[in-house]
Amino acid sequence: MTFRHRHLLGIEPLHPVEITTILDLADRYVDLNRGARKHGDALAGLTQVNMFFENSTRTQASFELAGKRLGADVMNMSMQASSIKKGETLIDTAMTLNAMHPDLLVVRHPHSGAVNLLAEKVNCAVLNAGDGRHEHPTQALLDALTIRRAKGRLHRLSIAICGDIAHSRVARSNILLLGKMENRIRLVGPPTLMPAGVADWGVEVFDDMRAGLEGVDVVMMLRLQKERMDGGFIPSEREYYHRYGLDAEKLSCARPDAIVMHPGPMNRGVEIDGTLADDINRSVIQEQVEMGVAVRMAAMDLLARNRAAPPAREVMA
Ligand code: NCD
Distances (CA, A) of 248 to 89, 276, 288: 48, 7, 20
Q: Separation of 11 CA from ligand 1 center, angstroms? A: 16
pLDDT interval class at 83 (50, 70, 90): low
Q: Separation of 96 CA from ligand 1 center, angstroms? A: 28
Q: What angle do CA 289, 291, 297 make, to 5 degrees?
A: 115
Locate all alpha helices (DSSP H) within the chain, ordered by sequence.
Answer: 16-34, 58-69, 90-98, 114-121, 137-151, 169-180, 209-213, 237-244, 248-251, 274-277, 285-308
What is this structure's pTM?
0.94
Distance (Å, rounded) from C-alpha 57 to C-alpha 49? Answer: 16
Q: Separation of 97 CA from ligand 1 center, angstroms? A: 25
Q: Separation of 45 CA from ligand 1 center, angstroms? A: 30
pLDDT, tens only, 190-206: 999 999 999 889 999 99
- Cβ-contact 175, 203 below 8 angstroms: yes
pLDDT at 305 over 60: yes
Q: What is the arithmetic mean of pLDDT over 171-192? A: 97
pLDDT at 284 over 90: yes
Q: Separation of 172 CA from ligand 1 center, angstroms? A: 12
pLDDT number for residue 316? 47
Ligand 1 pocket check: which of 52, 59, 170 to mutate, most ligand atoms within 8 Å of Cβ?
A: 170
Taking CB atoms and a 6 Å cutoff, what residues make up the pocket around ligand 1?
Answer: 58-59, 130, 136, 139, 169-170, 223, 225, 263-264
Nearest CA to ligand 1 atom 7: 59
pLDDT, tens only, 106-115: 999 999 999 9
Closest-lying ligand 1 atom to the alpha carbon of residue 58: 8
pLDDT, tens only, 125-161: 999 999 999 999 999 999 999 999 999 999 999 999 9
Distance (Å, rounded) from C-alpha 29 to C-alpha 66? Answer: 10
Q: What is the arithmetic mean of pLDDT over 213-227? A: 94
pLDDT number for residue 115? 95
Closest-lying ligand 1 atom to the alpha carbon of residue 225: 12
- Cβ-contact 287, 146 below 8 angstroms: yes
More confident residue, 236 or 27: 27
Distance (Å, rounded) from C-alpha 276 to C-alpha 173? Answer: 25
Q: Compute the mean pLDDT over every residue in the chain, rounded to the nearest whole number.
A: 93
pLDDT, tens only, 222-245: 999 887 777 778 878 999 999 999
pLDDT interval class at 95 (50, 70, 90): confident
% of the chain at pLDDT higher than 70: 94
Distance (Å, rounded) from C-alpha 285 to C-alpha 223? Answer: 13
Pairing type for strands 259-261 and 73-78 reads unpaired
pLDDT number for residue 1? 56
Q: Separation of 67 CA from ligand 1 center, angstroms? A: 20
